Amino acid sequence: MTDCFRGLERFERIGYSVLLLPVIGFFGYYGMRGALLYAGGSRTAPAEPFAWGIGLGVALGASYVALHLLRGASTRLPQLFLLISGLGALAGAVWFVLLSQDLGEPWSEVLKTVVMLGGVGTMALILWWRRVHDHG
């Protein structure tokens, strides 16, 4: 009976990996573009090291998750990846709040993004914490 579901599980892993491709492409493109602009001497917003660092970091992280899913070694992500991803999402939420304050954006437009980033970061850190303390 379990053999019947292995194909479905593999199909789902491939589907999730394919869904990550636009994320990898978007953040990878703009991260590399910002890094190349910065290397060329530009100091515009996309060329700020924090901005293109986030783009490249997300692209690398999403690539890792996609390859991890395709490889099918395990459905569990490593603990260090969860810790770094959670802290990165929380740092992104703080950076987004600071950036929107500088630009004078109203809180009604900023709140959804901050809640999403903060929620994802918090959940990743909770998952990391539970794994560390369950195995420790």
Q: Whole-angstrom Cα distance, residue 103 to residue 113? A: 15
* Residues 63 and 123 occupy one common structural domain: no
Per-residue pLDDT of 92-111, as tens digits, reads 788 778 878 877 888 887 88
First-last CA distance in the chain: 34
**Domain encompassing residue 102:** 78-136
* Residues 71 and 111 occupy one common structural domain: no
Q: Whole-angstrom Cα distance, residue 79 to residue 134? A: 12
pLDDT of residue 110: 81
* Residues 100 and 128 occupy one common structural domain: yes
Per-residue pLDDT of 41-93, as tens digits, reads 887 767 778 888 888 888 888 888 788 777 775 556 677 777 888 888 888 78
Q: What is the pTM of this model?
A: 0.60
Q: Of 27, 45, 9, 10, give the one whose Cα is nearest residue 88.
A: 27
Q: Which of 48, 75, 102 is the last residue of a domain?
A: 75
| Whether the predicted pLDDT of 123 surpasses 80 | yes
Residue tagged 């491939």 (tokens) = 14
What is the distance, to the nearest Å, from the Cα of residue 3 to the centroid of all Cα atoms in its chain? Answer: 32
Total domains, the chain: 2
Per-residue pLDDT of 5-53, as tens digits, reads 345 477 777 777 787 788 888 888 888 998 998 999 887 767 778 888 8
* Residues 5 and 31 occupy one common structural domain: yes
* Residues 20 and 35 occupy one common structural domain: yes
